Amino acid sequence: MELAKDYKFTHLVSVANYETEALRAAFDDDPDMTVILACREGEAVALASGLVTSGHRTILCMENLGLFESLDTFRGLPCDMHIPLPVFVGYAGRGATLEGAFEAVGGMAGHVKLAGDWTEPILDATNIKHALLLQDDSEEAARATVTQAFDAQEPFVILVDNLDRTHS
């Protein structure tokens, strides 16, 4: 949150997801920040792109499953137009097996694992720059990753692996 204020971010556009919920909640609690909730990821990309091009410093949050849904909008707006947009993407299924916690999602376990397997290769194939932010990263490493995204003059995805691990 400090970094967002240092970089004078004013808006967060988000699609509900578990991995970035703590970030959205922090923005929601700050009276200087505006949170816009979108129904679909493609809509969120368009909203965030419009805010940036109209002069608002904006952060986008979604889950990797939704990232796949929004790739055409990414291509058409922030990628083709070089819109500087930091995107926090919840990395569902990273390193997952079909056992353990993913049994709780029942018939979705295979889809979640597949999303984890596909996320980085798809970002690489679409030339969208990205970095991984882990819960146990040092504060210095986390700041460096976030700063890299905020300084980019194009879309930059920060893959978030459970910023809040209070579930178990």
Q: In this model, does residue 100 exceed pLDDT 70?
A: no
Percent of the chain predicted with pLDDT > 90? 55
| pLDDT tens sequence across 46-73 | 999 999 999 999 999 999 989 999 999 9
Q: Which residues pair with 92 in a beta bridge?
A: none
pLDDT in tens, 1-14: 677 888 889 999 99
User: Of 80, 11, 72, which Cα lies nearest the Cα of 40?
Assistant: 72
pLDDT digits (tens, 9 = 90+) for 154-166: 999 999 886 443 4
Report the alpha-carbon distance of residue 73 to residue 134 in Å, rounded: 27
Q: Mean pLDDT of all residues in the chain? A: 86
Does the 2-161 domain belong in CATH 3.60.150.10? Answer: no
Calpha distance 24→42 (Å, rounded): 18
Instruction: Return the pLDDT at 166.
Output: 40
10 Å CB burial of residue 43 (0-12, 13-18, 19+) is middle
Q: What is the pLDDT of residue 103?
A: 55
Sorted by where each begins, the domain ranges of the chain are 2-161
Q: What is the pLDDT of residue 48?
A: 98
More confident residue, 81 or 137: 81
Residue 5, SS3? helix
Q: Would you tell me how many other CB atoms lie within 10 Å of the CB of residue 121?
A: 9
pLDDT digits (tens, 9 = 90+) for 104-115: 555 666 677 788
